[in-house]
């Protein structure tokens, strides 16, 4: 019996616990953490925060030209003014129902700017239209009656020729024809009067639509829906006298007051160099248009009109400007050296012309002295030939920004 028990005990399977891998290999979690840390560091180092840019190469330029060495004979200050400027109002007093413009919007001649309340005007137009239709109907009725009266007069005359109608019958029918002819003339006059009344109401209805008198830019919006507008100034300040103010930007010019003691130094057609207070380094070629033939006795000045020889969107109405009246003494051939870059590679900042030079993967900001020539910029100082310039600098670009070159042209 004991032998069998020993045999059975030998057939029993012992369940021994498996060894703990983490205890057997304690360094595995450290290796996994180290691998993840290395991968994260590699991703961080490979991350590219640089700005994509396009590069152009500054080209050497030599400009031989004849320039005026004339000096300024007179300096003066003035303002940019618009010769064509209008505050658009209405012909009638009415309430504004809709305004379709905002400041800075460009409008064409005849474009609708606003609508006025036309409830009463439209009712009067409908009444005039109905009166015209009634006058035309009455005229048609008179024409029918006159045709019938003429046929009756003809029959009476035929009967009188046969002795079957009296002279009194002829006179009565003839009088009826004449009366209807007079009535027909009155009816035609009534139709013309009704047509004129309808045209007048149509004009009044059209006056509720405010249109632009000329093409230009809206510089001021003066009325809002719900306000009253009138062509004349009303007491109390609750009635507007205009919808908006429009300026024709092509009519901009300079007006300066010159001391009458120096007006002999100015003449029509004289060359002028103008500088806006907002862009003091920008010389704008100009020319005297006219000298106003009257003086201001209070200021002892004479007004002079000066026209721009070049148009530019940076010139705005009412800007302050300084002008120099030039006297040409002689012509001399001079040579200007510098570099040329596309005008799109520059940026204006507080009246200064700035460019960005690409060097060693970063952007370097440079302040340059330049003059624009069409689509090109002639840089007289600040850039050397062969330097790589960033074209169309992105908005976030600043001095020291990391850059990534995506396109480069010579």
**Per-residue pLDDT tens for 89-135?**
999 889 999 999 999 999 999 999 999 999 999 999 999 999 999 99
Please give the share of the chain, as a percent, with pLDDT higher than 90.
47
pLDDT at position 68, please? 47
Of 119, 126, 114, 120, nearest to 209 by C-alpha is 114
Report which of residues 205 and 16 the model is more confident about.
Answer: 205
Give CA separation, 75 vs 275, 329, 337, in Å: 11, 17, 29
Whether 192 has a pLDDT exceeding 90, the answer reads: yes
pLDDT, position 172: 92
Element containing residue 326 per DSSP (H, E) = strand 320-327
What pLDDT does residue 65 have? 46
95: its two tokens: 């309430």
pLDDT of residue 335: 52
By the 8 A CB rule, do 254 and 321 touch?
yes
Q: What are the residues whose beta carbons fall under 8 Å from the beta carbon of 372, sequence distance 6 or more?
A: 343, 378
pLDDT at 14 over 60: no
Report how far residue 290's alpha carbon sits from residue 269's, in angstroms, rounded to the nearest whole number: 8
254-263 pLDDT, tens digit each: 999 999 999 9
β-pairing, 51-57 vs 403-409, is parallel
- E strands present in 203-277: 209-211, 216-221, 228-229, 239-240, 244-247, 252-259, 271-276
Q: At what angle do helices 119-161 and 167-206 cross, to 10 degrees?
A: 160
**pLDDT value for 365:** 87
* Residue in 392, 398, 393 with CA at minimum distance from that of residue 375: 392
In angstroms, rounded to a whole number, what is the distance separating the alpha carbons of residues 86 and 366? 43
Confidence of residue 409 (pLDDT cuts 50, 70, 90): confident
- At residue 351, the pLDDT reads 67
285-309 burial by CB neighbour count: b if 16+ within 10 A, else e? ebebbebeeeeeeeeebbbbbbebe
Whether 55 contacts 409, CB under 8 Å: yes
Strands 352-359 and 403-409 turn out to be: unpaired
The token pair at 267 is 């003449």
- pLDDT for 20 beyond 70: no
Instruction: Please name the residues in contact with 154: beta carbons below 8 A apart, sequence gap of 6 or more.
Output: none
Would you say residue 25 has pLDDT above 90?
A: no
> Highest-confidence range of 172-181, 380-389, 401-410, by mean pLDDT?
172-181
Q: What value does the mean pLDDT take over residues 59-88?
A: 77
Which residue in this structure is represented by tokens 């990391």? 402
Name the DSSP class of 141.
H
Range in 150-154, 331-335, 365-369, 382-386 with the lowest mean pLDDT: 331-335
CA distances from 202 to 42, 188, 270, 350, 377 (A): 79, 21, 52, 54, 57
* The token pair that represents 279 in the structure block: 């862009």
Name the pLDDT band for 155 (thresholds 50, 70, 90): very high
Segment 142-169 mean pLDDT: 91
User: Would the pLDDT of 169 be above 60?
Assistant: yes
In this prediction, residue 331 carries a pLDDT of 39
pLDDT by residue (tens digit) across 201-243? 999 999 999 999 999 999 999 899 999 998 876 545 567 888 9
In sequence order, the 6+-apart residues with CB closer than 8 A to the CB of 260 are 295, 300, 301, 302
Q: What is the Cα Rg of the chain in Å?
A: 45
What Cα–Cα distance (Å) separates residue 217 from each residue in 89, 244, 313, 316, 375? 16, 10, 12, 11, 25
Over residues 48-70, the pLDDT tens digits come to 567 888 888 888 876 554 444 45
Q: What is the rounded average pLDDT of the residues 393-402?
A: 84
Q: Within its chain, how far is the Cα of 368 from the centroid?
A: 31
Cβ-based neighbours of 7, under 8 Å, separated by 6 or more: none
Helix (H, G, I), strand (E, B) or coil at 283: strand
pLDDT value at 41 more than 60: no
**C-alpha torsion 102→108→113→119, nearest 10:** -160
Residue 377 has pLDDT above 90, yes or no: no
Task: Return the SS3 of 400.
Answer: coil
Q: Which of 182, 180, 160, 162 is nearest to 171 (CA)?
A: 160
pLDDT at 11 over 60: no
Q: What is the mean pLDDT of residues 337-354?
A: 81
Q: Residue 124 CA to chain centroid, in angstroms?
A: 37
**pLDDT, averaged across the chain:** 83
* Percent share of the chain, pLDDT over 70: 81
Give 16's contacts (C-beta < 8 A, 6+ positions apart).
none
Mean pLDDT lowest among 21-35, 68-82, 95-109: 21-35
């Amino acid at each position: 019996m004991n032998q069998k028990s020993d045999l059975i005990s030998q057939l029993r399977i012992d369940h021994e616990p498996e060894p703990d891998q983490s205890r057997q290999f304690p360094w595995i979690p450290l290796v996994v953490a180290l691998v993840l840390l290395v991968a994260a560091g590699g991703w961080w180092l490979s991350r590219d925060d640089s700005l994509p840019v396009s590069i152009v190469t500054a080209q050497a330029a030599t400009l031989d030209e004849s320039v005026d060495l004339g000096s300024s004979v007179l300096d003066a200050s003035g303002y940019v003014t618009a010769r064509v400027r209008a505050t658009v109002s209405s012909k009638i007093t009415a309430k504004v129902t809709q305004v379709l413009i905002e400041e800075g919007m460009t409008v064409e001649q005849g474009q609708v700017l606003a609508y006025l309340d036309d409830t009463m005007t439209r009712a009067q137009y409908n009444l005039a239209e109905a009166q015209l239709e009634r006058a035309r109907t009455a005229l048609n009725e008179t024409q029918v009656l006159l045709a019938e009266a003429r046929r009756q007069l003809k029959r009476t005359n035929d009967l009188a020729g046969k002795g079957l109608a009296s002279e009194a019958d002829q006179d009565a029918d003839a009088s009826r024809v004449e009366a209807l002819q007079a009535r027909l003339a009155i009816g035609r006059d009534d139709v013309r009067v009704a047509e004129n009344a309808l045209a007048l109401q149509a004009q009044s209805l059209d006056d509720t639509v405010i249109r632009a008198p000329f093409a230009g830019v809206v510089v001021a919006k003066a009325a809002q829906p719900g306000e009253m507008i009138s062509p004349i100034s009303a007491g109390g300040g609750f009635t507007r006298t205009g919808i908006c103010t429009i300026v024709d930007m092509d009519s901009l010019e300079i007006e300066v007051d010159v001391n009458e003691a120096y007006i002999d130094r100015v003449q029509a057609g004289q060359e002028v160099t103008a500088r806006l207070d907002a862009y003091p380094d920008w010389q704008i070629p100009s020319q005297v248009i006219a000298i106003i033939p009257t003086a201001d006795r209070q200021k002892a000045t004479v007004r002079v009109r000066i026209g721009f020889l070049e148009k530019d969107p940076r010139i705005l109405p009412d800007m302050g400007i300084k002008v120099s009246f030039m006297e040409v003494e002689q012509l001399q051939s001079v040579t200007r050296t510098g570099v040329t870059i596309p005008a799109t590679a520059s940026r204006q900042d507080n009246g200064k012309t700035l460019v960005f030079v690409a060097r060693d993967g970063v952007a370097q900001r440079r302040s340059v002295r330049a003059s624009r020539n069409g689509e090109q910029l002639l840089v007289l100082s600040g850039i050397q030939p062969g330097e790589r310039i960033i074209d169309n600098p992105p908005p976030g670009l600043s001095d020291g920004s990391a850059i990534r070159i995506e396109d480069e042209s010579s």
